[in-house]
A = this chain, B = another copy of it.
Amino acid sequence: MRMYEKGLLIVLSGPSGVGKGTVRKEIFSHENANLHYSISITTRKPREGEIDGVDYFFKTNEEFEKMIENNELLEYAQYVGNYYGTPISYVRKCLDEGKDILLEIEVQGAMKVKNAFPEGLFIFLAPPSLGELKNRIINRGTESDELIANRMNVAKEELEMMELYDYVVENDKVEYACERIKSIITAEHLKKDRVKHRYKKLIEGDK
């Protein structure tokens, strides 16, 4: 009898420069019983110390383009002449084995994943602009109107971007952001419908 259930697909995204990579590294710097990092595929050369299948799956241009053709990528993008992408097979394997898997990707990529996996858990990492904006408004008079207007515009853009996400985590401090993300994952596993499913499986047997 298989006692486990499908894992969670967790997508960590947000505006560029917000610190997604730092937060992701911090999350995986600690022991995570059931959380796995979605290893990306790239066509760039491995750097000193990088291991195939750990840091990246290293592929040739031809191999990568073949994967695009065969719809084997959840999302991909090109930076400085190299391809980067998320292989569907690894994601599905983890989820089927009951492991949670975390993707750290750009907002554009997150939108593609949302289309393919609407049941995923989408977390928007936001710069601490809301707190800043609040302070600027409170200190109105000591701040120029232009500065406040600039911040307002940034907040408006963020507001639009966060629409597709389930949760918003402010990256005011990396450790806090990590704790919040872990709380979200914990809570998600405790949702009634997930737990109910476990009860049902036990009561009815795993058919």
Residues of A within 8 A of B (CB): 1, 3, 124, 126, 130, 133-134, 137-138, 152, 155-156, 158-159, 162-163, 165-169, 179-180, 182-184, 186-188, 190-192, 195-196, 198-200, 202-203
Contact = CB atoms under 8 A, between A and B. Distances in A.
A3 B134 contact: yes
A192 B184 CA distance: 12
A183 B187 CA distance: 6
Contacts of A130: 195, 198-199, 202
A192 B180 contact: no
Contacts of A188: 187
29 contacts: A1-B137, A124-B192, A130-B198, A130-B199, A133-B202, A134-B202, A152-B203, A155-B199, A155-B202, A156-B203, A159-B203, A162-B196, A162-B199, A165-B192, A166-B192, A167-B187, A167-B190, A167-B192, A168-B195, A179-B186, A180-B186, A180-B187, A182-B183, A183-B183, A183-B184, A183-B187, A184-B186, A187-B187, A187-B188
A81 B93 CA distance: 59
A166 to B, nearest CB: 6
Given A183-B187, A184-B190, A159 B196 contact: yes
B192 A168 contact: yes
Contacts of A158: 199
A27 to B, nearest CB: 15
B195 A190 contact: no
Given A159-B199, A200-B159, A203-B155, A169 B190 contact: yes
Contacts of A198: 130
Nearest to A153: B203
A126 to B, nearest CB: 8
B191 A166 contact: yes
Nearest to A194: B168
B196 A168 contact: yes
